[in-house]
Amino acid sequence: MTNQEIPNLTAFDDAALDQAFAAVEAEARAAASTLTDESSVEAFRLQWLGRKQGRLTEISARWLKSAPPEAKKSLGLRFNALKDVVEGLLSQAAGSGPTDAALAAEIIDITLPGTRRLTGAEHPITRTLNEITRVFAALGYSVGVGPEVETDFYNFESMNFPPGHPARDTQDTLVVANQERRPLRDRLLLRTHTSPVQMRTMESQPPPVRLIIPGKVHRNDAQDATHSPIFHQVEGLCVDANITFSDLKGTLDHAMKALFGSAVKTRFFPSFFPFTEPSADVQISCIFCGGKGCRKCKNSGWIELLGCGMVDPAVFVFAAEKQPAYDPKKVSGFAFGMGVERIAMMKYGISEIGQFYAGDMRFLGQFV
């Protein structure tokens, strides 16, 4: 018998089968004795155990399939024994060669400490957003969300920014291209504040409303130490019967103390916003010098932090088109808005707003 052919069996008695399988086993042992390296071991494996052209596959095809039914069991037992011998020869040849050194090099010392997975942490902007949200949630405010791509109507017109109003120019709006054929109120833009959610909420539910709106906004601002074309705001809205400016002052004074400490004081200065009347800017006593005056507060002892005011009756008129309950003669309310990055920069002593967005792990690692 040679490596090139497997003869057909003409007899299937025990003596004939023993002789045929002994010859094949001897051939396998002779071939295994000549193996010297990994390539010859692989060639032996393919020659004997290959699924398509291996010699054991050929024996199975020629001998097992052609055997009479009464001989199949006896022949199958001898075939399995031959297969065990060939696999043993292969394992012995592989274990005695260079593979031993390769396996030794892969030994793992299970007593060594494992790789420690780094602990994640909230981004400082997310942490500040969540902190502000918790403060107002404790006062009974719910959280509102809305689309970042808005229509001119919700972003400007319903917030009492009529076409041509000079306050539109201060928003530095990023608009979606190719909107010229649409009516102005239907043109799409990236929202410049989260105020559109106030109108969407009033249109969908009657008063009373107590709502804060944390979210991302976009303006065409040049990047510098304190400005970014993308930033975050938290706006608030409270609408009910007999809401007064005193309610607004008390709410914001409590919120500032919750965020910056009970020693913080607040004061209000007249200002202007199209959607509130009267309007005010809110300052807090400097958290760095305690109001004594320092470089951070430009030696004034105060830091301007947010804007607010009583909701303009014109805004209620827009809401009343879909929710008649917002009759400006029957309800009143206040609104406020604050920049999240500005508060985060104050709380964590960050001087460059761009650090929030740079993705520098050395910077973010400080907040773990």
Could you read off the pLDDT of 303-331 as tens digits, one per residue? 999 999 999 999 999 999 999 999 999 99
Q: Facing residues of 233 across strands? A: 215, 339
Q: Facing residues of 234 across strands? A: 214, 338
Which carries the bigger pLDDT value, residue 246 or residue 184? 246
Torsion of CA 71, 77, 81, 83, to 10 degrees: 70
Could you read off the pLDDT of 202-214 as tens digits, one per residue? 999 999 999 999 9
Topology of domain 124-367 in CATH is: BirA Bifunctional Protein; domain 2 (3.30.930)
Q: What are the tokens at 244?
A: 């007064």
- What's the average model confidence in pLDDT over 138-167? 91
Q: Residue 37 pLDDT more than 70?
A: yes
So what's the pLDDT on residue 95? Answer: 64
By the 8 A CB rule, do 82 and 63 touch? no
Highest mean pLDDT pick, 25-39, 106-120, 293-307: 293-307
Which carries the bigger pLDDT value, residue 160 or residue 116? 160
Average pLDDT along the chain: 87
- What's the average model confidence in pLDDT over 167-177? 81
- What's the average model confidence in pLDDT over 344-368? 86
Write the burial class of residue 76 (CB in 10 Å: 0-12 exposed, 13-18 middle, 19+ buried).
Answer: middle
Tell me the chain's radius of gyration from C-alpha atoms.
40
What are the residue ranges spanned by the domains of the chain? 14-105, 124-367
Highest mean pLDDT pick, 27-36, 163-172, 344-353: 344-353
So what's the pLDDT on residue 1? Answer: 41
So what's the pLDDT on residue 292? Answer: 87
Which carries the bigger pLDDT value, residue 290 or residue 328? 328
So what's the pLDDT on residue 186? Answer: 92
pLDDT confidence bin for 30, thresholds 50/70/90? confident
So what's the pLDDT on residue 2? Answer: 43
By the 8 A CB rule, do 333 and 236 touch? no
Report which residue type is found at 64. Answer: L
Which carries the bigger pLDDT value, residue 35 or residue 183? 183
- Strand pairing report for 230-240 and 266-273: unpaired
Could you read off the pLDDT of 57-105 as tens digits, one per residue? 888 888 877 788 888 888 888 888 888 888 888 888 776 554 455 556 6
By the 8 A CB rule, do 129 and 232 touch? yes
So what's the pLDDT on residue 104? Answer: 62
The residues, ordered by sequence, that sit 6+ positions from 274 with a Cβ below 8 Å of its Cβ are: 159, 160, 161, 165, 167, 312
So what's the pLDDT on residue 199? Answer: 96
Could you read off the pLDDT of 252-275 as tens digits, one per residue? 999 999 999 999 999 999 999 999
